[in-house]
Amino acid sequence: MASSAIYHGACAILEGEVFGRQAHAARPADGVNVVDILADVVHAVRDISASYSSIPASCKVTKLHVPNESSNIIPDYASFSIDLRAQTNQAMDALLPELLSAVQSVGRASDGSVELRMKNRMAAARPDPYLEALVGDVIAELLGDDGRVQPPVTPGGEDFHFYPLHKPELRATMIGLGCGLLPGLHHPQMRFDLDALEIGATILALSVVRLNSAK
């Protein structure tokens, strides 16, 4: 089976650093505890994510690191990562600045500081309707109507979708190819049907033929 598009969502990874002031744990008032600031960051991110419950979008803290070797020292440095997902580029464009503002507000409200930077970002899929229909017809021709399935909608990201985003004149779609992948993507024992590669190559080749014939 195959689909004429894959509707990936937009995603982004933010990396942050928290700076406080070190002190002995017996005198907490003398220091600025980055763990407390991290806790506020986590709550702020969760609140933003909850406000997007009616939209296919989310944000969550996925990594926290406090390199403090001593349990009786108020830590003055920490790092963290935030994963953002949105089904459309418009939703990501709304989510991202709101999240940045919320996290930066946490830093301003403390005696420490919070710094954020964008590690990477991927655009959501915007398949060309004509190509999606053309490839769909090719799939049905090769695999039958039962072999043509609806394009999956997934919060996963794919950098391929930057091509049509940055070159609007470029028409594109990404073909979804069923290959019996088990037990799951990135699993150590991941396996799939290699014969599916031949099917995929045939779909691509015939799609190019049909596209050129239509000119």
Neighbours of 174 (CB within 10 A): 21
**Per residue in 95-123, pLDDT tens?**
999 999 999 999 999 999 999 999 999 99
Tell me the CATH number for domain 10-122. 3.30.70.360
Domain ranges of the chain: 2-7+125-213, 10-122
Cα-Cα-Cα-Cα torsion 188, 192, 198, 203, nearest 10 degrees, comes to: -100
Contact call for residues 2 and 176 (beta carbons, < 8 A): yes
The strand ranges marked E within the chain are: 2-3, 7-8, 10-19, 23-24, 57-65, 73-74, 77-86, 113-122, 153-154, 176-177
pLDDT tens-place string over residues 145-186: 999 999 999 988 999 999 998 999 999 999 999 999 999 888
